[in-house]
Structure 1
Amino acid sequence: MSAASDSRSSAETKARILLAAQTVFAEHGYSHAGLREIARQAQVAPSLLLKYFGTKARLFEEALIAAIIPLQHFQSDRPQLGEAIVASVLDPGSRMVAPAMIALALGDPESRAVTVRVVQERIVGPMADWLDGDEGLASAINLLAMTTGFAIFHRNMDLGLEPRTRQDAARLMARALQAMADG
């Protein structure tokens, strides 16, 4: 086997582990997520998790970073930011596990520390810089909080809402997010 195919195989294995980790962390939370379960879902030996990531905390961190939708995805059209965020949350084809991973990580001190750092570095800080202005940081924090709550509700709670009610909720959320982005 060539070095290039070894590298490709390694990258593919690591990607499978990260996807499995995202699923397990989003369903069970950090403290109840087992490395054996992640390895089983990734179809790899448990020893590979430690080989590639070293610790459960590092695996969680890399899985969370990989789960975050890049900010650039939402920055292309500022006047449509609210609609873009809501559309992304409601798109059944998009893999949205970061909100659940974030929420379920807060009960464990180790994963909470990782989550706070990653959210600050990868979401809040860049969003505040992009929004600019006196209230950029406050707006970024509130955008994240509202989006996380909206995503958790619409991705994890099925109340049997009528399509019209879902559309109304989406429209109102898009307007609220947009107002925050507009300052």
Structure 2
Amino acid sequence: MPLPPLTLVLGGARSGKSRHAEALIEALPAPWVYIATAQAYDDEMRARIAEHRARRSQDWRTVDAPMALPEALRAVPSGQPVLVDCLTLWLTNLILAERDIAIATGELMAACREAQGPIVLVSNEVGLGIVPENALARRFRDEAGRLHQRLASQAERVVFMVAGLPMQVK
């Protein structure tokens, strides 16, 4: 099945989201764009970022966009496939910077609609567990849920990853 204009890949930690998203993009002709939203604040996160980079070939061009994701999407050359990894880190960055999440989400949705090539968005599904005990964690969970709902409504394909297995939701 050809890759649609917008695909959302959701799943828990270590569910295989990133690997699956990379495989979807790599099924298309290179070059590919990888928009990374992570920020390396500690050694553990630096190691995670290094692991992701090490498994990507030279055909990937990495763009770091911890907060300027819509702008990064708009800067991608026409027709190039794009992978964004990940939306929950982007959302964390926005919340901690006290940005307006509704405005940022609207800008992301518009950038996805305007894109001239396929986009695969990766995000952590965080709403399946217990209600977090603190207000910041509850806000994050709620904002992530709202973001996923909006993007899923716009996406032509939604995949939920479980134990490395893709489950087609839409």
The structure whose residues are more often strand, as a share, is 2
As a proportion of its length, which structure holds more helix? 1
Higher relative contact order (CA 8 A, sep 6+): 2
TM-score where L is the length of structure 1: 0.31
The structure that has the greater radius of gyration is 1
